[in-house]
Structure 1
Amino acid sequence: MNVLMIDSPPLFVAGVADVLWKRDSSWQVWSAQHPEDIYRIRTDLPAGTVGAVTIEWDERAAQVGWPKVLQDALGTVPWLFVVRTVCRQAIADALLTGAAGIVDRHASADEFADALARVASGAIYVPPSYAIGAQSGPAHGPVGDERAFERLTPRQREVLRLLAEGKSNKQICRVLNVAEGTIKNHLYALFRQIGVSNRTEAALWLSRQMGAEATRTPVVPLCTAVHH
């Protein structure tokens, strides 16, 4: 699998590449600094072999418009935002922008490798300390949303929380000891119940339920406090 890292320092790219190669020698890391690099790399690689992308996300990256560039060049390939400070507002903003997850730029190469493996498998990734599913119930979201959460069955709530933790369908199956078809049925039902159409929207919906800050910056994630 190929991984594309945008605007990351060369030494860090080399560290991530080394960790990924030790896990699976079929993984290869490519570095890009400008939109034209993306199209050149896409031409050099067989179609469908880019599994995940990371973007050093800040005001400069927002001005470049990387999400649109990636969508145009690579279609549905998932990407991770790499940010200076992770908080619940930043997580919500990243998901709303279309990212499959968010990771701290000070994270270790091993953490990056875990995050990349998660999103490449179709899951959503947030740092473990921000696992949304660890909380016990809905917080202070909009009244309509609270009622929607209450209408979910206990099993649907479990599936939603595990999804928001970044687990894939197969991982949820193992946790709940049920067939994958059953999980797909639960996802279809809860998506209809809360009014979303995909996993990313579901995770964003739950992050708001769990107390994401009411005011948010729509393009560049900003955090007013660091949570531990």
Structure 2
Amino acid sequence: MNVLMIDSPPLFVAGVADVLWKRDNNWHVWAAQHPEDIYRLRDSLPPGTLAAVTIEWDDHAAQVGWPKVLRDALGAVPWLFVVRTLCRQAIADALLTGAAGIVERHASADEFADALGRVAAGAIYVPASYGIGAQAERPHGQAGDERSFERLTPRQREVLRLLAEGKSNKQICRVLNVAEGTIKNHLYALFRQIGVSNRTEAALWLARHVAADASRAQSASFVDVHG
């Protein structure tokens, strides 16, 4: 599996490459510092062989516009934000930008490898200490109810997914071809349903739901194959 690491110091790239190779010698790590590096790597690898990307996320990376570069060059290949300081706002910003996960720069080698493996497998990764699937981190009430998502209407689910992509109310209106007042009503209803009070909390809630579903699906697949 090929992993691309953007803007990471060479020593850090070498360390990650060593850890991944020791886990599975089919892992290969590439490095990039500039957008043109992405296109050169894309053209040099067989299609579909790049499994995940990490980005050292800071103000400079935001100015470069790496998310847009990655979407244009690599399509649906998932990326993982690497940050120096992790907090709930950083998690929300990462998810709303389109990242498949976020990990701290000083995370252990095993945690870093686990994060990469999870996003490469199609899951959303947030460090366990921030409550993905943990009852202690869920607000009391409906937000902790695993059936809350299923109780949303199909339109509310669409609105929630578009919101989590970072779209504004007006952009959601254009996508769904409805009035802005209708979107506001949907947001009010779904916020009450899942037990959150704003857009950031809603995006985090959806990330928890997707991560939990992915974990259950992977467990079920393991049982089907090995049971």
With normalisation by structure 2, the TM-score equals 0.67
Match of 1:52 in 2: 52
Relative to structure 1, the CA distance from residue 160 to residue 97 in structure 2 (aligned partners, 3 Å threshold; closer, same or farther) is closer
1:92 deviates by: 0.9
For the Cα contact (< 8 Å) 2:50–2:77, is it kept in 1?
yes
Q: Cα deviations across residues 108-150 of structure 1 (Å, max 9, x unaligned)?
A: 2221111000000000001110123213445799853343227
Question: For residues 12-51 of structure 1, what are the structure 2 equivalents within 5 Å?
Answer: 12-51=12-51
Aligned to 2:155: none
User: 1:163-194 CA deviation, whole Å, 9 max, x = no partner?
Assistant: 3358445335379x8x8xxxxxxxxxxxxxxx
Higher-Rg structure is: 2
- Equivalent of 1:144, from 189, 195, 208? 189
Give the % identical residues. 70
More helix by share: 2
Q: Does 1:85 align with 2:80?
A: no
Q: CA RMSD in A?
A: 2.7
1:136–1:42 distance in 2 versus 1, CA, 3 Å: closer
Q: Distance in 2 between matches of 1:166 and 1:81?
A: 21
> Are residues 72 and 9 of structure 1, via their aligned partners in 2, closer, same or farther at CA, if it must alter by over 3 Å?
same
When residues 82 and 136 of structure 1 are mapped into structure 2, their CA distance, relative to the original with a 3 A threshold, is closer
Q: Does the Cα contact within 8 Å between 2:3 and 2:52 map onto a contact in 1?
A: yes
Aligned-partner Cα distance in 2 for 1:35–1:57: 15
8 Å Cα contact 1:122-1:168 kept in structure 2: no
2:170 — aligned with what?
Answer: none
- For 1:90 and 1:103, how far apart are their aligned partners in 2? 10
Show the counterpart of 1:132.
132
Partner SS state of residue 30, structure 1: strand
Q: Could you give the per-residue CA deviations for residues 195-221 of structure 1, whole angstroms, max 9, x where no partner exists?
A: xxxxxxxxxxxxxxxxxxxxxxxxxxx
CA distance in 2, matches of 1:160, 1:4: 23
Task: Provide the C-alpha distance between the structure 2 equivalents of 1:119 and 1:89, rounded to a whole number of angstroms.
Answer: 20
Query: Aligned partner of 2:35: which letter?
Result: P
Kindly indicate whether residue 218 of structure 2 is the aligned counterpart of residue 171 of structure 1.
yes
Residue aligning to 1:119: 119
Give the match's secondary structure for 1:63: helix
Is the alpha carbon distance of 1:18 and 1:87 closer, same or farther for their aligned partners in structure 2, counting shifts above 3 Å? same
Structure 1 segments unaligned to the other structure (5+ residues): 151-158, 180-228
What is the CA–CA distance in structure 2 between the aligned matches of 1:88 and 1:133, rounded to whole Å? 15
Q: 1:60: how far off? A: 0.4
Classify 1:55/1:160 alpha carbon distance in 2 versus 1 (closer, same or farther; 3 Å): closer
The letter of the residue matching 2:217 is: K
In 2: Cα distance, 1:166 partner to 1:53 partner: 22
User: Which residue in the other structure is 1:106 paired with?
Assistant: 106
Encode CA deviations 1:55-89: one digit per residue, 9 max, x unaligned: 00001000000000001110000000111111111
Q: Give the Cα separation in 1 of the matches to 2:81 and 2:218.
A: 23
- Gaps in structure 2 of 5+ consecutive residues: 144-186, 196-205
- The amino acid of 2:211's aligned partner reads A
Q: Work out the number of aligned pairs and report it.
A: 169
